[in-house]
């Protein structure tokens, strides 16, 4: 496994002093009460291993969150597992569910951990490209049906989606659910951006579709919701046998982590709805500022209904290849972005797509936009 694109591009931003619109690392504040609660937990001595399955109050808060938001009822004991970020949740789930030679379906472009996790398990990631439709990415139903083979074991879904900002629609989820029930596939759904959905778009969770709860592991994390990506507290909800299998693998990845964070997050999750409403307001303004700025800089941004990122077609600047564009960009405009080809498993990626992140301070975005406009 090579160096991750996030490491490479963040290092490029550091060494050149460019504005970092590459890695999705937020420059935004976190809830004050949450920070205070962590400090208090640390100083009052909550510093030893938590239970391997996670601190009970956080498992209860996660279960209450799923019931309140999605009408999904999970037992805090046995159907909720706290993990070291969504990253460990994904690795545990894939290692638990896949044997060497199995196939995993994911939609291309996809988060880079999916292919790496497949490799760790000796499985093969079969990528189904999302189709480009104007400024949107849409499910290619025929390609999905063609991708299923007798070796397919798991489908990894990510909605809201990184890197595109796509929110899978009710119709798309219904088709995916149909394919998964027809072929007895287990779904791992990565929903770390579940609270960061803008405008009229609505996040739907596939576990709530008929026949899906029993075959779905739903993963989320505190990192994006509370702007605490360095804390690495995530979770999995699902039926008892699948959660137990992921928990068995998880024991030998980290065993457990983050006691004071887990303790404080249990309280924060109970009041997440008010916090997330404000954060969505900030991120909506940021998305619009960046999208408008990219257009004024002569690039062609796509729609993003959610998450941290915007895609742009960089061909109007004379680049057929986003990697070349991103290599030149720090020098040319003092900005770092990430070539979207880094998120494609299949060879036929649209090479001219580049990902820009907008989870930044307004002044960083304004500076980046001004510099891009001057550099065009």
Q: Give the three-class secondary structure for 152.
A: strand
Q: Cβ-count burial of 367 within 10 angstroms (0-12 exposed, 13-18 middle, 19+ buried)? A: middle
In 3D space, the residue among 181, 176, 163, 263 whose CA is nearest the CA of residue 222 turns out to be 263
Please report how close the Cβ of residue 166 comes to ligand GLN at its closest, in angstroms: 14
Q: Give, as ranges, the residues between 150 and 169 that touch ligand GLN (CB under 6 A).
A: 162
- Rounded to 5°, angle at Cα 361 from 356 and 362: 90
- Binding residues among 214-233 for ligand PMP as defined by CB under 6 A: 221, 223, 229, 232
Return the one option of ligand GLN, ligand PMP, none that residue 23 interacts with (CB less than 5 to 8 A, by type).
Answer: ligand GLN
Q: How far apart are CA 200 and CA 267, in angstroms?
A: 29
Task: Name the DSSP letter for residue 81.
Answer: E
Helix (H, G, I), strand (E, B) or coil at 298: coil
| Nearest CB to ligand GLN, comparing residues 6 and 70 | 6
Binding mask 147-176 for ligand PMP (x = CB under 6 A): -----------x---x--------------
**Residue from 13, 18, 24, 76 binding ligand GLN (CB under 6 A):** 24
Q: What is the dihedral of CA 272, 195, 236, 226, to 10 degrees?
A: -50
Query: Residue number with the shortest CB distance to ligand GLN?
Result: 24
Count other C-beta atoms under 10 Å from residue 273's C-beta: 12
What SS3 class is residue 50? coil
Tell me if 87 contacts ligand PMP by CB under 6 A: yes
- 50 touches, from ligand PMP, ligand GLN, none (C-beta below 5 to 8 Å by class): none
Could you tell me which stretch among 54-62, 69-77, 81-89, 342-350 binds ligand PMP (CB under 6 A)? 81-89
What is the smallest separation between the CB atom of 6 and ligand PMP, expressed in angstroms? 8
Tokens representing 276? 């997330």
Taking Cα atoms as reference points, which of 247, 230, 227, 229 lies closest to residue 238? 247
**What is the rounded distance in angstroms from the CA atom of residue 263 to the CA atom of residue 73?**
22
Q: How far apart are alpha carbons 219 and 238 in whole angstroms?
A: 9
Query: Residue 83 Cβ, how far from ligand PMP at the closest point, in Å?
Result: 8
Among residues 76, 129, 165, 234, the one that binds ligand PMP under rule CB under 6 A: 234
Per-residue interface string for the shown chain with ligand GLN, residues 194-223, x marking contact by CB under 6 A? ------------------------------
Which of ligand PMP, ligand GLN, none interacts with 325 (beta carbon under 5 to 8 A by kind)? none
Contact, 102 vs 277, CB < 8 A? no
Binding of residue 341 to ligand GLN (CB under 6 A): no
Stretch that binds ligand PMP, among 84-92, 175-183, 272-280, 293-301 (CB under 6 A): 84-92
Q: Verify binding: residue 27, ligand GLN, rule CB under 6 A.
A: no
Q: How many other CB atoms sit within 10 Å of the CB of residue 300?
A: 16
Give the residue at shortest CB distance from ligand PMP: 85
DSSP state of 306: B
Using DSSP bridges, classify how beta strands 131-133 and 136-138 pair: parallel, antiparallel or unpaired.
antiparallel
- For ligand PMP, the closer of residues 257 and 371 by Cβ is 257
Chain residues in the site for ligand PMP (CB under 6 A): 24, 85-87, 111, 158, 162, 190, 192, 221, 223, 229, 232, 234
């Amino acid at each position: 496994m090579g160096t991750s694109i996030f490491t490479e591009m963040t290092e490029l931003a550091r060494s050149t002093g460019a504005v970092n619109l590459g890695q999705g690392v937020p420059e935004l504040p976190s809830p004050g009460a949450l920070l205070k609660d962590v400090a208090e937990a640390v100083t009052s001595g909550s510093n030893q291993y938590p239970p391997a399955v996670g601190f009970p109050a956080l498992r209860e808060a996660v279960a209450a969150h799923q019931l309140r938001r999605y009408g999904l009822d999970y037992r805090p004991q046995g159907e909720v597992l706290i993990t070291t970020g969504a990253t460990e949740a994904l690795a545990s789930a894939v290692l638990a569910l896949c044997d060497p030679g199995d196939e995993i379906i994911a939609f291309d472009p996809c988060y880079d951990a999916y292919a790496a996790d497949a490799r760790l398990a000796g499985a093969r990631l079969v990528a189904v490209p999302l189709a480009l439709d104007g400024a949107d990415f849409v499910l290619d139903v025929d390609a999905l049906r063609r991708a299923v083979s007798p070796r397919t074991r798991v489908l990894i879904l990510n909605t809201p989606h990184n890197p595109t900002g796509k929110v899978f629609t009710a119709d798309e989820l219904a088709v995916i659910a149909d394919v998964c029930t027809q072929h007895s596939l287990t779904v791992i759904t990565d929903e770390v951006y579940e609270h960061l959905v803008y405008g009229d778009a609505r996040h739907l969770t596939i576990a709530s579709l008929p026949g899906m709860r029993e075959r779905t592991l739903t993963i989320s994390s505190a990192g994006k919701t509370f702007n605490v990506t360095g804390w690495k507290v995530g979770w999995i909800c699902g039926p008892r046998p699948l959660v137990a299998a992921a928990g068995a693998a998880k024991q030998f990845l980290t065993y457990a982590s983050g006691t004071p964070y887990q303790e404080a997050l249990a309280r924060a999750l109970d009041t997440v709805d008010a916090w997330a409403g404000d954060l969505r307001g900030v991120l909506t303004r940021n998305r619009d500022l960046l999208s408008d700025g990219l257009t004024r800089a002569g690039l062609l941004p796509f729609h993003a209904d959610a998450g941290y990122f915007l895609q742009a077609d960089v061909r109007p600047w004379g680049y057929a290849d986003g990697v070349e564009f991103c290599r030149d960009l720090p020098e040319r405009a003092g900005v770092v972005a990430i070539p979207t080809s880094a998120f494609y498993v299949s060879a036929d990626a649209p090479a001219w797509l580049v990902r820009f992140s907008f989870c930044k301070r307004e002044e960083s975005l304004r500076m980046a936009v001004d510099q891009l406009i001057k550099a065009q």
